Structure 1
Amino acid sequence: MAAIQQILAANQPRRRARSQTVYINAYVRQNFSPLDVLPEVQLLAALRFYAVGSFLEVVGDGTGLSKASVSRSVAAVTPILLRHARTHIKMATTRDEVRMVHQGFHAVAGIPRVIGLVDGTLIPIHNPSLVDPCWIGRKHYAAINTQVVVDHNGLITDIVARWPGSTHDSFMWANSAVGQKAGRGVFGRSIILGDSGYPLRSYLVTPVTNPATPQEERFNEAHTRTRTKIERVFGIWKSRFRCIHRSSGGLRLSPIKCCRVIVVTAMLHNIAVRVGADEPPPVEEQHSEDEAPNPAPRHVRAVLHQAGAQTRQELIHLF
């Protein structure tokens, strides 16, 4: 027995207690900088963020990037994509292009010379540093009120993403390039259809507020049927890119970066439409509220309104 104890004692220093053995079975994710991450990976991370609209940690799980790396990738990719927005977001200009748009809209409900539909949509943002109440719209959450013009094919042909959620649609229109071009007659006899939140003009036709004749009622019905196009575009656009839908909790970026992301997703939406990508089910849409238009002095509004009323009356006679 004494011999056995001596042998065990002699071998004891060579053995390691089981309780001291540590097994490590974990994956350590590297923290990349934009200089270390391949451009393809940065692009995929940004596209995933646009499409999913989830937290940056969740987006990073699919690409092996950290939250900070995903954030830097989105910040690096978005301005580069933004440079190509003018190529993919533009209104019809040539005679053939305008004629095709006129024919496309006329086929919907019989309203002639329509070159586009305009409306405002709220893009929710989530930024605790925004304490200015101007960002809070009538839906009681912080948002960017985005003005959009679409054509008969569901393409976004003009977009203005810069105004806080409380901004009136009529104010955005009056201060937009497309609104000022229309006022100068750049679009000729073409008209744009807007809801009652916009001022009635010879180039911007709104529905009759209180229709009193069957013709006016039929015109309003045609106006509504035609404008369902823009409602559908909003639903598909926000379904494709959940980062701009309220279900994502709002864009967790600075207002300037939010505006850039909004325009880039509009450009990507157009690319998807042109290549014939499958349309996702439209999601419920949050619109900006109709506001009483009041952008110009009273005497100027009276003259412009009279011209708009005459144009609308000419259209009503067609019904």
Structure 2
Amino acid sequence: MGIHKSTVKKCVYKVVKAINQIMLQNYIYMPHEKEAKFIAQNFEEKCGIPQIIGSIDGTHIEIIPPSEGCKDFVNRKGWPSYNVLAVVDHNGRFRNIVAKHPGSCHDAAVLKDSTLYKNSNTIIPKETQNINGMEIPFIIVGDPAYPLLPWLLKGYSGSLSAEQESFNVYLNSARVSVEMAFGRLKARWRILHQINCDYIFAPEIIVACCILHNFVESKKERFYSEWLQEAEQLQLLTPQPTCATNYQRDSVQGTELRNHLKEYLSQNFPLRKALIRP
């Protein structure tokens, strides 16, 4: 349209920075106590596990890496990326994001460098619920790549009993919300299949897309299934790396919490079997 590329670039940068400066606090934030109760009720209706306020996972966004230090950005699948961490609620809206770590970083390392991990005592609401004699705090659920913490729950691994396998199935039904959110995010904002700009600015674009995702989801904007199908085809070109299981020692409190919830589910809900064996 007769506009020079440099002018377009300046406009894009200004808009992205404005979105992040003005909209971020209003659209991406951890829930306060009252909202956390509402989110937990909705998660419990889905999976039977009480006190869940979010699902956590990572996704890789392809970038053009710097010439120096390129290897730091190459992930386990061999392509350059940022490893983006996100916490998502029952509605598939982003509640916490970290978009600054190169693709070679392990998911657990990204978590441990996050504000959520360092300030969990102040960021996560305090209220507990008594479940069969144990006070259960608000919790976030993740996959085996993350450590087991008093506020971060993951499934069992290794040789599983029927109760442990069933617990994993119920837990995974809560975790699916973050996977769906990443799918819809990338389906709407195709730039996230490869950010073709300076790698330093790429995190700003990622955050802006997450903010806009929450904005349009809150406005119930129409989402076409064709977008998702097209995004899945693009994803085949750069398959997501599978993160290795985190082998660091799990916390005693987290272990006790998981075992207690496993018993609670086995006593109150039918045992389920995984459709796909690990």
TM-score between both structures, scaled by the size of structure 1: 0.72
Aligned to 1:27: none
SS of the residue corresponding to residue 86 of structure 2 reads strand
- Looking at structure 2, the residues matched to 174 and 127 of structure 1 have their Cα atoms a distance apart, in angstroms, of 24
| Correspondences of 1:132-171 after superposition (within 5 Å) | 132-171=70-109
- Looking at structure 2, the residues matched to 140 and 287 of structure 1 have their Cα atoms a distance apart, in angstroms, of 10
Say whether the 8 Å CA contact 1:211–1:217 is kept in structure 2. no
After superposition, the C-alpha distances for 1:236-262 in whole angstroms (9 at most, x for unaligned) are: 0000000002xxxx2111122100000
5+ long unaligned stretches in structure 2: 127-136, 266-278
Q: Kindly state the Cα deviation for residue 292 of structure 1 after the two structures are TM-superposed.
A: 4.0
After superposition, the C-alpha distances for 1:120-172 in whole angstroms (9 at most, x for unaligned) are: 10010024635420000011111000001000011101110000001111011
Q: Which amino acid aligns with 2:257?
A: T
5+ long unaligned stretches in structure 1: 1-60, 295-300
- Looking at structure 1, the residues matched to 65 and 8 of structure 2 have their Cα atoms a distance apart, in angstroms, of 18
Aligned to 1:289: 242
Which residue of the other structure, out of 32, 48, 52, is the alignment partner of 1:114?
52
After superposition, the C-alpha distances for 1:71-121 in whole angstroms (9 at most, x for unaligned) are: 12112211111102122101111x320111101111111111001111110
Q: Which amino acid aligns with 1:291?
A: A
Q: Which amino acid aligns with 1:85?
A: L
Alignment CA distance shift 1:130-1:153 (3 Å) = farther
Is it true that 1:263 corresponds to 2:207 in the alignment? yes
| Correspondences of 1:201-216 after superposition (within 5 Å) | 201-216=149-164
| Correspondences of 1:1-319 after superposition (within 5 Å) | 64-83=2-21, 84-93=23-32, 95-127=33-65, 129=67, 131-182=69-120, 186-188=124-126, 189-245=137-193, 250-281=194-225, 282=228, 283-284=231-232, 286-293=239-246, 302=249, 305-319=251-265
Q: Kindly state the Cα deviation for residue 177 of structure 1 after the two structures are TM-superposed.
A: 0.7
Identity of aligned residues (%): 28
Q: Provide the aligned length of Structure 1 versus Structure 2.
A: 245
SS of the residue corresponding to residue 264 of structure 1 reads helix
- Looking at structure 2, the residues matched to 242 and 72 of structure 1 have their Cα atoms a distance apart, in angstroms, of 20
Q: Kindly state the Cα deviation for residue 293 of structure 1 after the two structures are TM-superposed.
A: 3.1
Q: Kindly state the Cα deviation for residue 179 of structure 1 after the two structures are TM-superposed.
A: 1.5
- Looking at structure 2, the residues matched to 201 and 216 of structure 1 have their Cα atoms a distance apart, in angstroms, of 18
- Looking at structure 1, the residues matched to 213 and 160 of structure 2 have their Cα atoms a distance apart, in angstroms, of 40
- Which has the bigger relative contact order, CA under 8 A and spacing at least 6? 2
In our comparison, the structure showing a higher alpha carbon Rg is: 1
Say whether the 8 Å CA contact 1:127–1:253 is kept in structure 2. no
Say what the alpha-carbon RMSD is for the aligned residues. Answer: 1.9
Q: Which amino acid aligns with 1:251?
A: I
- Looking at structure 2, the residues matched to 318 and 229 of structure 1 have their Cα atoms a distance apart, in angstroms, of 23
- Looking at structure 1, the residues matched to 175 and 115 of structure 2 have their Cα atoms a distance apart, in angstroms, of 21
- Looking at structure 2, the residues matched to 157 and 256 of structure 1 have their Cα atoms a distance apart, in angstroms, of 23
Alignment CA distance shift 1:103-1:287 (3 Å) = farther
Alignment CA distance shift 1:262-1:185 (3 Å) = closer
TM-score between both structures, scaled by the size of structure 2: 0.82
